Amino acid sequence: MKKRILTGDRTTGKLHLGHYVGSLKSRVALQNEYETFILLADVQALTTHFDNVELLEHSIMDVAKDNLSVGLDPEIITIVQQSQVTSIAELTIFYSMLVTVNQLSHNPTIKTEAKNYGYKEMTYGFLGYPVSQTADITFCNAHLVPVGEDQRPHIEMARQIVRKFNALYKTEIVEPDIMLSATPRLAGIDGKAKMGKSMGNAIFLTDSAEEVAAKVKNGVTDTERISVKIPGRPEICPIFSYQKAFSDEADNICEMCKNASIGCVACKKRLGETLNALLDPIRERRAYWDSHEDSLREIIRTGTEKANRVGNENLRAIKEKMHILLG
Ligand code: TRP
């Protein structure tokens, strides 16, 4: 039996190169080796977007298309709509007994996100989303979770909850491992620490070749390099971090930048070409799914049914161990 992967994305908009580097790329690389579940995390999207459900409906399809267009094969992976899997909701409730409010409010990712969203007070659902994420990962007993570094506190919490739960009820829920990408987190094209969906600094998988070229052209480089003749500092240049993440020529470009034999304009032009070469086949597959939305909906429905079968079976065994089935 193959080991399982579960990972996913909040359905709050289209995915970008940060997602590609952080997780999508590993999903594609591992899809043959692991039985893969991709979660369209629409419940988790509600934790911040409960008042904007119109966006969600569209985003569920967008995120599914993003996943397929990077090369995940719908014949072998399972795409799952989170809100339609009842065992996830039930497990969330059971797990919530084993986590303190204090633990959640000290979770560094929760803290950062609350700050980003400007929350003075957090809803119960927002504060508790790492608990529901634990249910996401464990309803199918996933072994491996490919995610970006920012998700580490959640995976650690998931491991803690699982250990405690197994010890209490003698269940055998799999304690998941995090799988971090080999590429460090991608900065925004504006040089800000993080590429964000709504920060105006993202290159989306759906951007046209012209949009990509223009975004790269306006991207931030070493600000002290005001002339081509001055040697650049690739180690602090945001554009170079992209070269490093995406180009086979990165070492070469690094040398040329340091000895002032390539300027920022030429470097950016090369980067634009590299990114468009990566994105072209992604755009092509995207166009296919844009014109086959009915079959995509069917793929999601079938995947979600499978998730329900797997989850219900596991949940039944868990409830038996918890002595809450009357037999
Ligand atoms: N929290 C993840 C993110 O913001 C999305 C997510 C939801 C997830 N459920 C998951 C990731 C389960 C991995 C496993 O990107």
Residues ≥6 apart with Cβ < 8 Å to 273: none
Mutate to test the pocket of ligand 1, among 4, 7, 40, 110 (most ligand atoms within 8 A of CB): 7
Taking only the tens place, the pLDDT of each residue in 256-284 is: 999 999 999 999 999 999 999 999 999 99
pLDDT tops 90 at residue 183:
no
Q: Of how many residues is the chain composed?
A: 327
Residues ≥6 apart with Cβ < 8 Å to 65: 286, 289, 290, 296
Give CA–CA dist 187/179, Å, rounded. 20
Q: Which residues pair with 10 in a beta bridge?
A: 41
The pLDDT, as a whole number, for residue 27 is 97
Taking only the tens place, the pLDDT of each residue in 23-73 is: 999 999 999 999 999 999 999 999 999 999 999 989 999 999 999 999 999
Mean pLDDT of 129-140: 98
Taking only the tens place, the pLDDT of each residue in 86-127 is: 999 999 999 999 999 999 999 999 999 999 999 999 999 999
Q: Look over the chain and give the mean of its residue pLDDT values, rounded to a whole number.
A: 96
Mutate to test the pocket of ligand 1, among 4, 6, 9 (most ligand atoms within 8 A of CB): 9
Measured in Å, residue 118 CA sits from the centre of ligand 1 at 21
The pLDDT, as a whole number, for residue 126 is 98
- Whole-number percent of the chain with pLDDT over 90: 92
- Of ligand 1's atoms, which has the minimum distance to the CA of residue 9? 5
Q: Is 27 in the pocket of ligand 1 (CB under 6 A)?
A: no
pLDDT tops 90 at residue 208:
yes
Q: Please give the single-letter amino acid code of residue 2.
A: K
Give CA–CA dist 304/242, Å, rounded. 36
Measured in Å, residue 44 CA sits from the centre of ligand 1 at 8
- Whole-number percent of the chain with pLDDT over 70: 100
Q: Full-prediction pTM beyond 0.85?
A: yes
